[in-house]
Amino acid sequence: MDMWLKFVMLLIVAYILGSIPAAYLSVKWATGADIRKIGTGNVGSSNVAQTTSKWLAVVVGLFDMGKGTLAFFIAYWLGMEVWQQMAVGLVTVAGHNWSVFIGFRGGKGMITTLGVIFAISPLLGLIILLTAYLPAFFKQMALGVFACFITLPLWTWFAWAWFASSRLGVEDKMTVTIGIFAIAMMGALKRLIGARATISRDIPMNELLINRLLFDRDIRDRQVWINRASAD
């Protein structure tokens, strides 16, 4: 089979794989609820932990991470070039963020992005994991994820040599950095777009965008946001 045809087919498979909404399915199975209408409304493991079960959230997180790692490794095993591997990773994250199975809604893509990063370098993946989730102990995980979006391209460009011993066959620093930058910007964009919640209708647009970018919600008060009416 022609390599270009394989690439196109893998992009389609990667999007479908990324689109599998583990958080939605697990909460639906465990409680019958629609995760999009409870908690933060995010279709991701953090909302599963807040609304359903921390153990179930771990399973969802591992599954979502595995989507990114598996898709990237398939591209690698098929002998595709680095830019194609990064494109497959990006499309997998896009599938997670805009799932075809739940009306093109989804999560924010951080854990699936982590899966791609672990496939490139487990050491870099560990650093990003700690950066993203250590602030969760202070209920500031959204800030940690924002820090990851900002610093990811810096890590891959300026600290590339540090990860030489843990890179799994990926050597093209420029291509990896561009790909990681694109994935990070997609994650930031997912935070910014979306309909304004009723609870934030009086907040100025610039404040709304800052809240979404830094805190991943329309308002500063986390508890009020989580407890807002499901109709919002």
Query: What are the pLDDT digits (tens) for 136-188?
Result: 777 788 899 999 999 999 999 998 888 776 777 777 899 999 999 999 999 99
Sequence-ordered alpha helix ranges (H) in the chain: 3-19, 22-31, 45-51, 54-77, 82-97, 110-120, 122-133, 141-158, 173-192, 205-215, 222-226
For residue range 102-131, list pLDDT tens digits in order: 999 999 899 999 999 999 999 999 999 999
Q: How far does CA 146 lie from the centroid of its chain? A: 11
pLDDT of residue 205: 93
171 or 189, greater pLDDT: 189
Classify the C-alpha dihedral 59-64-67-73 as positive or negative.
negative
Q: What is the dihedral of CA 160, 165, 171, 175, to 10 degrees?
A: -40
